[in-house]
Structure 1
Amino acid sequence: MPEPAPAHKLPWSVLVVIHTPALEVLLIERADAPGFWQSVTGSRDHPDEAFEATAVREVAEETGLDARAPGHVLSDWGLENVYEIYPQWRHRYAPGVTHNTEHLFGLCVPAPRPVRLSPREHRDQCWLPWQQAMERCFSSSNAEAIGWLPRLGGLRRQ
Structure 2
Amino acid sequence: MEYKRPESVLVVLYNERGQVLIMQRNDDANFWQSVTGTIEEGELPVQAAYREVGEETGIVMAPESGAIVDCQHINQFEIRPEWRYRYPPDAFINTEYVFAVQIASDATITLTEHSAYQWVEKPVAAERVWSPSNQAAILAFVPELK
TM-score by length of 1: 0.84
For residues 72-151 of structure 1, the aligned pairs below 5 Å read 73-118=67-112, 121-150=113-142
Cα drift, residue 72 of structure 1: 8.1
For residues 27-106 of structure 1, the aligned pairs below 5 Å read 27-46=22-41, 48-68=42-62, 73-106=67-100
1:3 corresponds to which residue?
none
1:8 corresponds to which residue?
3
SS in 2 for 1:29: strand
Matched residue type, 1:146: I
SS in 2 for 1:73: coil
Cα distance in 1, alignment partners of residues 35 and 22 from structure 2: 8
Per-residue CA shift, 1:53-92, capped at 9, x if unaligned? 10011001100011339x9821000001000000000000
SS in 2 for 1:96: coil
CA RMSD of aligned residues (A): 2.0
SS in 2 for 1:56: helix
Cα drift, residue 21 of structure 1: 2.6
Contact (CA 8 Å) 1:23, 1:149: kept in 2 or not? Answer: no
Contact (CA 8 Å) 1:24, 1:112: kept in 2 or not? Answer: no
Aligned identity (percent) is 37
Contact (CA 8 Å) 1:25, 1:127: kept in 2 or not? Answer: yes
Q: Which runs of 5+ in 2 are unaligned?
A: none
The one of the two structures with greater contact order (alpha-carbon pairs below 8 A, sep at least 6) is 2
Contact (CA 8 Å) 2:59, 2:108: kept in 1 or not? Answer: no
TM-score by length of 2: 0.91
Cα drift, residue 149 of structure 1: 2.4
Matched residue type, 1:89: W
